[in-house]
Structure 1
Amino acid sequence: MNWILLVIAGLFEVAFASCLGKAKETTGIISTYWMIGFFVCLSVSMFLLYKVTQVLPIGTAYAVWTGIGAVGTVLVGIFVFKEPASFWRLFFLMTLIASIIGLKFVSAH
């Protein structure tokens, strides 16, 4: 269950980073709504990370959380914000995914 919560926390990290990107693209009240979304997603993500670290090792939990956030944010950048998807960018993204999976397998919990 804690690994599922950790994945959800990572997805909320992707959401808060995405909200920042959308807030940058907008103005006025719409930008304010995106910033509210940012703070809500940030709060949920941090709370879930806190709960997970009560059981899982902090080093593993934090690395997986940031990895999920990084991978997800890069994918959102490519598909939503039209950032480039070069070979090397995708190559290193795959190595990051492999590292996250590796941490899961070597974790004591």
Structure 2
Amino acid sequence: MAWIFLMLASVGEIIGVTCINLYIQQKKIFWLFGIVLAMGLGFFCLSIAMNEIDLGTAYAIWTGLGAAGAVLIGIIFFKESAGWKRLFFLTCIISGAVGLKFLS
């Protein structure tokens, strides 16, 4: 169950940073509430996951999946660059997170 909470925490981070980008673009207070809600729920889920998963592993996976998800959101929805080098290193981040899960 802790791994599910860790995945939810990563989703919260992805949604939170997406709301940050939307706030920067549109300057609507709605996105500020989205940032607080998504990041708050993400941190809450991370704290629950860390009851069973080691700090280093949980943090590395949370930040890695959050960063990878944010890059994918940027590419898909915000027309950011999707060059092969960027996708290669994105694959490295995801591989590292998966590797940490198998070692835990």
Instruction: Give the TM-score normalised by structure 1.
Output: 0.93
Structure 2 residue aligned with 1:56, among 53, 58, 79? Answer: 53
Structure 2: where are the runs of 5+ without partners?
none
Give how far 1:55 is off: 1.2
**CA distance in 2: counterparts of 1:73 and 1:95, whole angstroms:** 15
Pair 1:5 & 2:5 matched = yes
Paired-residue identity, %: 39
1:90 equivalent to 2:98? Answer no
Q: Which residues of structure 1 form unaligned runs of 5+? A: none
Shift of 1:3: 0.4
CA RMSD of aligned residues (A): 0.6
Match in the other structure for 1:34:
31
- Secondary structure at the aligned position of 2:80 is classed as coil
Structure number, greater radius of gyration: 1
* Match in the other structure for 1:104: 101
Note the alpha carbon deviations across 1:26-47, whole angstroms, 9 max, x for none. Answer: 03xxx10001000000100001
Divergent runs of 4+, >2 A: none
- Looking at structure 1, the residues matched to 43 and 8 of structure 2 have their Cα atoms a distance apart, in angstroms, of 11
